[in-house]
Amino acid sequence: MKRRQLAGAIVSCLVLIACMPVPVRQDSASLQSAVAQSAAGAPRLPGPGESYLDAAWFEQTLTVDRAVQAALLNNPSVRGELSRLDAAHAERVQAGLLRNPMTTLMALRPEGGGRYELDYNLMQSLFDLFTRSRRIEAADAAQRRTEAEVLVRLLALTQDSEAAYYDALAAQARLGLQHQQLALDEEYLLLLQRQASHGAVPTSMALEQEAMTATRAHEVRSAEAELAQARSGLAQQLGLPSAAVLRLPDSLDAPVVPGLDGPTLQALAASHRPELRAAQAGLDQAGTELSLQSGTLRATDPSLGLAGVRETDGFWMNGLELQITIPILDTGRARGDLARAQIAQAEAEAESIRRQVPLDVERALATLAAAQVAAEHADHHLHQQLLLEELARQNYRQGSTDLLRYRQSTQARLLSAIDQVNSRQAVWTALIALQRATGVAAAGQ
């Protein structure tokens, strides 16, 4: 083969290799769709270069849908997670590239002087060439795993934002009811102090009521601290530097939970939980890594290229050169053992997640069922206390009962209202837990 023909063949081979298709980046439509169906209000993800939300956006009363949307658009950690997709894409593209050809040039001169002899070669790794498809498969699996892990974190952020929203509403409602209890105690204390000053009641009764009022005031301060923490937690989920801009509704609504079918929810969890996709992608990646790190091709790492020699008398010699690594010291056994251990680890992790998912759904369903029953009892109890309070009010106006019994009925009604708030919060928390377990937005939101 003539030198020009041989060089042309080598160059053509390298050009064909360079023109092999490179993986293209997949759009985020699947990620956007998964977030939309797994969170309240079908929120969207921030676009490239999109700015954070300004203070004017939060002037409107916050709803759970707006809270989730604000968390995705305004929390910097979301953009940090999305940047992982860019890194995964870059790694995927890099996996499809071949190592640059390596060339060497030697100029040898006879001892004592004379003309130089030139030795040169241009080598390309055959291992890179023949394992390119497997490297792309491993990078594809790694990218799928990254996408699933990003989805897990985004869904956790939306669910934590929903939980923080309902926690803040419940804390606000409890504080309002405890303020009413404190006002009732203070009003009764003033009455007892006036009566004690005229000798109508013992002074000890007024002192006991004063101690009870002080205790109630302490409970109100604790409730204020609880609300401050809840609002701060919500602001943190929304990516805000301060909770002062938050405008919450005045009350915590009761969730409407339709009938829940266990097998259907189990099927939803099996098809929508991103942890399952991440585990399967990790298993695929580990299997591909085993094929890459084992075998004769990996052990010898061959390279093929063009070599030539120009002797001192002007004679040229050109041809093909093959370089291989002799697997004497490193036989590749350790790499294979490591890859097989990684496969075993990935299989165990995948099996653990497969067993955990149905247990999560079962626990969430049982918790939600119990919370629903408790909420129904709390609603019924509050309705009874309202009737008793109205009856005590009528009896007090007619003079058939005293102020103490009327006050006790009002206190009982306020305590029942606090129980109702707590029970509603428990139902919302159980619904969010069911959403975490199934990977789909819970009903009633």
CA–CA separation, 71 and 238 (whole Å) = 4
Task: Look at residue 380 and tell me if it is in a domain.
Answer: no
* Mean pLDDT for the stretch of residues 57-74: 92
Average pLDDT over residues 337-358: 94
Residue 148 lies inside a defined structural domain of this protein: yes
Alpha carbons 428 and 255: distance in angstroms, whole number: 7
Residue 430 lies in a domain: no
The pLDDT score that the predictor gives to residue 22 is 47
Domain assignment present for 225? yes
Q: What's CA 297's distance to the chain center, in Å?
A: 40
Residue 408 lies in a domain: no
Predicted local confidence at residue 25, as pLDDT: 44
Q: For residue 24, what is the domain's CATH number?
A: 1.20.1600.10
State in Å, rounded, how far the first CA of the chain is from the last one. 76
424, 23 contact by CB (below 8 A): no
Question: Which whole number is the average pLDDT over 183-196?
Answer: 89
Residue 114 has phi, psi (to 5 degrees) of 135, -170
Does any domain span residue 402? no
Sign of CA dihedral 56, 61, 66, 72: positive
Query: pLDDT tens, 304-333?
Result: 888 888 776 666 777 888 888 888 888 888
Query: At residue 21, does pLDDT exceed 90?
Result: no
Euclidean distance between CA atoms 166 and 155, whole angstroms: 17
Q: Which helix (H) or strand (E) holds 407?
A: helix 403-438
Cross-sheet strand order for the sheet of 303-310:
102-108, 117-125, 303-310, 316-323
In a domain, 98, yes or no: yes
**Region for residue 48 given its phi and psi (left: phi exceeds 0; alpha: psi -120 to 50; beta: otherwise):** beta
pLDDT at 314: 66
pTM of the model: 0.85
Rounded CA separation 164/65 (Å)? 13
Position 313 scores a pLDDT of 67
Among 288, 295, 282, which residue's Cα sits nearest to residue 345? 282
Give the helix ranges, DSSP H, for 198-261.
203-237
Domain extent for 166: 1-102+134-253
**So what's the pLDDT on residue 299?**
86
**48 lies in some domain:** yes
What per-residue confidence (pLDDT) applies to 434? 93
Of the candidates 168, 162, 163, which has an alpha carbon nearest to the alpha carbon of residue 231?
Answer: 168
What is the number of structural domains in the chain? Answer: 1
How far apart are alpha carbons 213 and 193 in whole angstroms? 13
Inter-helix orientation angle 333-398/274-293, to 10°: 170
E strands of 191-339, at which residues?
303-310, 316-323
Distance, in Å, from the CA atom of 171 to the CA atom of 231, rounded to the nearest integer, reads 9
Please name the amino acid found at residue 88. A
What pLDDT does residue 312 have? 66
